[in-house]
Each structure stands twice: as structure tokens, then as C-alpha cells.
Amino acid sequence: MSAEIIDGKAFAAGLRERVGTHAGDFEAKAGRKAGLAVVLVGEDPASQVYVRSKGKQTVAAGMASFEHKLPADTSQSDLIAMVEQLNADPGVDGILVQLPLPDHLDEHTVISTISPDKDVDGFHVINAGRLAVGQSGFVPCTPLGCMMLLADRMGDLSGKDAVVIGRSNIVGKPMAQLLLDANATVTIAHSRTKDLPEVVRRADIVVAAVGRAEMVKAEWLKPGAVVIDVGINRLPPADGEDKGKLVGDVDFGGASEVAGAITPVPGGVGPMTIAVLLRNSLVAAYRNEGLDVPVDL
């Protein structure tokens, strides 16, 4: 048996295309482009790459990109003032403060300053609460992207047994809530879970989001399970390599022989994250203008 590869790259391209179409419709109705503002504090190389990519894809989707780059020694009060300025700007529909922030800044305070209706990352405690009680809000991009891939592959998830490995506020907890909302039976597993392989083995759906390279082995999986691998880990370089290869939290080679379908790393969940960010930003724009959100977003 060889698992079907879930092509997140292709799905994300389709989502970005739909966002582009609806961004044009929004501009025609609202008389302005939907706008996403990204705030980057400091010179973290990975964050700079992410912000550049987000900016390019925002513009490519027909939306306005506002980048605010602040020095690493920016004070908490100055960063809060920047966020409040963006909250008040009617041309900005989504606000994203790139994490991690320098150590002297309090991420929780900064995120809680973002208007929940512009919090397109879905990290604000009000949006977490909305998700928990089934109200409409913004959901973190990675778990929402995972749900889109699962729904596309499996259709109705009602009654499916799902295990989420990892309990972070960014992926694990919202992922579990989305699966619950889809009427799956959900277990959140983590580092303290007893007999983790046995817990995973009963699952129809496995979402791995622990940040440990190739931790989930083939023998942990139920034959035919659908595996969503959120992890991105770089292995130590082999002889003659400048840098090690990227792998997920699942042993892809072995798991592919047991699972029914699986996301690769790279090319699985990763491309979905920015595509969903663009989707969330455009949804925010429609809501901010009091317009009906297109059903295929």
C-alpha cells in the first residue's frame, strides 16, 4: 500500500486564485483594495523571509500590502502605538505582527492590542474564545489550512476518530476545536500522554504538530489513516551537504506505506499557511465593509 500524497501546494494555489478573483470583486464594490499590514520588529532572518513572501503574495492576489519594519530596540509603547494606529486605519483590514518578537517585548500584550476584527492570524484571546463557543471569528492560519485539506480529501468528518499531537495555542488547540466543530471525536495528545503510539493507532485522522523530527513512526498508524504533518524540522547536514534536509514530525517514508493519505514536507501544510492568511485578510475586508463574504473563501 502506498499513501496518496495530499498536495498542499496545488490546493494553496487554487485558494490564492479564488482570493485574487474575490479581491477584484471587493475592490469594485468598496472602491479600494483590501489591505494587510505586517509589522516586523528586528532583523530575524527567517522572519524577514516570511514577511517578504507575505508581501509579494498579498500584492499578487490584488490586495494592498503595508509593511512596517521597526528596529530591534523598539519599545513596547512604540509598538503598541503602531498597532493602535493600524487599528484606526480604515484602509487596513488585517494586522499581523510577525513573531517571535525580541525578548524585551510582551507578545501577549501586543497581540491583545490588535483589534479582534483585524486579527487575521487568529491569535487574539477573543478570537480563541469565539472559536471555542462556535462563533464567527478568525482562526489561526495553519490549522484552518489543515482543515481545508482534510475536508477536500475526506469530505464529511463526522464520527471520525482524530488525534492531534501537540497542544500549542497556534496549532494544536485550535486544530482540535475545528475537528470537534466538524463532529469528529478528538483526542489531544502531548509529551505527557501515556502510550502515545497506542493512542495514535486508533485514529482515522492524525495531525502531528510537535516540532520533533520524524517522531511519528509507521507502526503508530492505523492502516488507511489520513496524516497531516504540520512539522518543519531541518536535519543535521549529511557529508557533503551545506544544510540538512527538511522533514516533518512524521517518518514520511515509513508512514507512506501504511497511511491512506499524507501531506509531504515540504509541499504539504506549509504553502497553506500564507494562502489562508490572504483568505482571512480578504474575509476581514468584506466584513469591515459590511459586505457578504463569498461562500468559496
Residue of 98, 173, 229, 249 marked catalytic: 98
Q: What is the CA radius of gyration of the chain?
A: 19
C-alpha grid cell for residue 253? 517514508
Q: Is the dihedral of CA 165, 167, 172, 176 positive or negative?
A: positive
Residue of 33, 54, 173, 222 marked catalytic: 54
Contact 230, 270 (CB under 8 A): no
Measured distance CA(256)–CA(254) in Å, rounded = 5
Reference 95, options 75, 69, 66, 134; nearest CA is 66
Contact 120, 146 (CB under 8 A): no
121 as an active site residue: the answer is yes
Residue of 121, 204, 229, 249 marked catalytic: 121
119 as an active site residue: the answer is no
Contact 200, 164 (CB under 8 A): no
Measured distance CA(263)–CA(72) in Å, rounded = 36
267-295 burial, b for 16+ CB within 10 Å, e for fewer? bbbbbbbbbbbbbbbbbbbbbbeeeeeee
| Cα separation values, 22 from 12, 17, 117, 142, 294, Å | 15, 9, 19, 21, 8
98 as an active site residue: the answer is yes
Counting every residue written for the chain, the total comes to 297
Contact 248, 214 (CB under 8 A): yes
Catalytic residue annotation: 54, 98, 121
